[in-house]
Amino acid sequence: MHKLNADSKFLINRLRRGEEAAYELLFKEYYQVLTVFARRYLNDLEAAKEVVQDLFVSLYEKREQLDINSSLKSYLFRSTHNRCINQLNAQKIRHKYVEYANYNTDIRDNSLEDEVNRTELEHHLYKAISELPPKCRSIFKMNRFEGLSNGEIAERMNLSKRTVETQISKALRILRGKMEPYTSLIIPGLFIEIIRLLGS
């Protein structure tokens, strides 16, 4: 994981002083992506939200004792990971998965970083898809997620096959542009999936 930089140090100092604006900034920046990350472990959206909300409450309550040596992002993801594992252990849920998660993420920090990168990349990708124009988004999702052919989509939406092809090409062009800043997050296990979604 990355080292603590000057911006993180400044924000942490603001958090320690109890500045509400600093907490609002942190919450806005990380709540959604941490919830997605927690859901990967708990397989329950409400439980994931609760874990992340509890983390932010704990940050505020223990603000004066904050001791963060890695980057703030690393600290938040690591804390979320640990809270998820603790919850799974405490409730004795999915025992085999807990053992797998402990082995694959607690022992090797690089594995956790891969999970963080995977979560962030998926978050950015699905956000980009959600921002496509409505018709373009619907056609793209039917093609890439439901596996429908251009002809099947054209029939379902009462469009010409050429229009469907044009809309898919438009979606791919927009998504490639939106995802270009995040190519550094792509890890080998996710590369094929991204190519499948954004390939020609």
Report how far Cα 176 is from the mean position of its chain's Cα atoms.
18
Q: What is the mean pLDDT of the chain?
A: 77
Instruction: Give the whole-angstrom CA distance, residue 83 versus residue 52.
Output: 9
pLDDT classification of 107: cutoffs 50, 70, 90: very low
Instruction: Give the whole-angstrom CA distance, residue 73 versus residue 30.
Output: 8
Model pLDDT, residue 109: 54
Q: Does the pLDDT of residue 158 top 80, yes or no?
A: yes
Q: Does the pLDDT of residue 25 top 80, yes or no?
A: yes
What would the mean pLDDT of 22-45 be, rounded to a whole number?
86
Q: Does the pLDDT of residue 93 top 60, yes or no?
A: no
Pick from 54, 53, 35, 52: nearest CA to 43: 35
Instruction: Give the whole-angstrom CA distance, residue 25 versus residue 169.
Output: 36
Q: Is the pTM for the entire model greater than 0.75?
A: no
Model pLDDT, residue 53: 92
- Per the model's pLDDT, the better-predicted residue between 65 and 79 turns out to be 79
What would the mean pLDDT of 46-69 be, rounded to a whole number?
83
* Vertex 82: Cα angle to 25 and 40 (nearest 5): 80
pLDDT classification of 40: cutoffs 50, 70, 90: confident
Are 132 and 140 a contacting pair, CB within 8 Å? Answer: yes
Model pLDDT, residue 9: 72
Model pLDDT, residue 142: 85
- In the chain, what is the greatest distance between 2 CA atoms, to the nearest angstrom? 63
Domains of the chain, start order: 6-107 (1.10.1740.10), 120-198 (1.10.10.10)
Model pLDDT, residue 166: 92
Q: Does the pLDDT of residue 24 top 80, yes or no?
A: yes
List strand residue ranges (DSSP E) for 1-135, in order: none
What would the mean pLDDT of 89-113 be, rounded to a whole number?
56
Are 21 and 93 a contacting pair, CB within 8 Å? Answer: no
Model pLDDT, residue 192: 47
Q: Does the pLDDT of residue 149 top 70, yes or no?
A: yes
Q: Does the pLDDT of residue 94 top 50, yes or no?
A: no
The secondary structure of residue 84, as a DSSP letter, is: H
Tokens describing residue 75: 């600290």
pLDDT classification of 187: cutoffs 50, 70, 90: low
